[in-house]
Amino acid sequence: MPTDTYAVINKQLEIVSYRRHQLIIICGQTCSGILQGYASASNIPYVNLSLELSKALLEIPVSLRWRKVGPIVDQIIKEQDSNIICFDHLELLFHPQLHQDPMRLLENISRNTTIIAGWNGSYENGTLTYAAPGHQEFRSYTELEASIITVE
């Protein structure tokens, strides 16, 4: 039930406020719906990161795009004018051509702004993964400075 998940998110918001990285990952197949609902119910900005990032990268030559991802994400955050932001659809961050480490990027931006991010992957036995092993976008993280909330 979403309201139970919303209560868990609210509790995690209290906890992460005391951490260096104020990052909450909502992990699972239904993370987008939950994140959209929570953002709407809590009046928190909701950003489709892949959409906004792709719009900003269109005019940048392919060979330079990887350098611009961080500054563009910083600008997207600045435009929201909020201490808490919900980022959904992180898929573009995993594109090999952009040479990004999505988790490190999320951790870095969560130093000054609380980020609640939808992660369309899995979290099992202390390991957060995206895509399947062998896939070009596969990522696996075991040492996280984030709160993880798994949803079905």
pLDDT digits (tens, 9 = 90+) for 26-68: 999 889 999 999 999 999 999 999 999 999 999 999 999 999 9
- Tell me the domain boundaries of the chain: 2-150
Q: Among 1.20.950, 3.40.50, 3.30.2290, 3.40.30, name the CATH number for the domain at 2-150.
A: 3.40.50
Hey, what are 116's tokens? 């609640």
What is the value of pTM for the model shown? 0.94
**Reading across the β-sheet that carries 122-124, which strands appear in turn?**
122-124, 127-130, 139-141
Buried/exposed 113-146: b ≥16 CB within 10 Å, e otherwise: bbbbbbbbbebeeeebbbeeeeeeeebebeebbb
- At 23 the three-state DSSP class reads strand
Label residue 45 left, alpha or beta by phi (over 0 means left) and psi (-120 to 50 means alpha): beta
CA separation for the pair 129, 72 (Å, rounded): 25
Give the model's confidence band at 2: pLDDT under 50 very low, under 70 low, under 90 confident, else very high. Answer: low
Give the model's confidence band at 118: pLDDT under 50 very low, under 70 low, under 90 confident, else very high. Answer: very high
* Average confidence (pLDDT) over 92-113: 96
Quick check: 138 and 35 in contact, CB under 8 A?
Answer: no
Quick check: 138 and 132 in contact, CB under 8 A?
Answer: yes
